[in-house]
């Protein structure tokens, strides 16, 4: 059974997809970028600020599914410049306990939606 997860506390989808899909006890999130859900504007000040907005959006999606970062088993991080990895990793890591952190890959890509610098998706199990 598939349940669509939506919340006004994360950016609304801008295409034919949903914020997340819950199948059984597994949550599959769409990628989040640094869109402020209240204003619809990008939060791009610096890479740490941008990454924090992405993680706050993801936190809202997880919460809408009655989950937290402790339930995340896999993260995918897409970045436009591997030189930003350290700062992105610092912010991302602050949302996880090192002993319970999920599996993860980080991939540099040529371009991301709206020309942002970072996009993150996750899989979580309750």
pLDDT score recorded for residue 88: 98
pLDDT (mean) for 3-13: 97
Model pTM score: 0.96
State the DSSP string of 10-42.
Answer: SPPPSSS--SEEEETTEEEEPPB-SB-TTT--B
pLDDT score recorded for residue 9: 98
pLDDT at residue 69 tops 90: yes
Q: Over the stretch 40-56, which tens digit does the pLDDT of each residue have?
A: 999 998 999 999 999 99
Q: Give the length of the chain.
A: 126
pLDDT (mean) for 13-34: 96
d(CA 125, CA 116): 28
pLDDT (mean) for 11-29: 96
């Amino acid at each position: 059974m598939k349940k669509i997860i939506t919340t006004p506390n994360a950016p609304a989808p801008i295409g034919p997809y949903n914020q997340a899909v819950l199948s059984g006890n597994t949550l599959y999130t769409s990628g989040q970028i640094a869109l402020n859900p209240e204003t619809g504007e990008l939060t791009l000040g610096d890479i740490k600020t941008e990454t924090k907005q992405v993680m706050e959006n993801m936190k809202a999606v997880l919460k809408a599914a009655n989950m937290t970062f402790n339930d995340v088993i896999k993260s995918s991080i897409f970045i436009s410049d591997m030189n930003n990895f350290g700062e992105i990793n610092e912010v991302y890591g602050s949302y996880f306990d090192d002993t319970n952190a999920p599996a993860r890959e980080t991939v540099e890509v040529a371009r991301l939606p709206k020309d942002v610098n970072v996009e993150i998706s996750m899989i979580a199990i309750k």
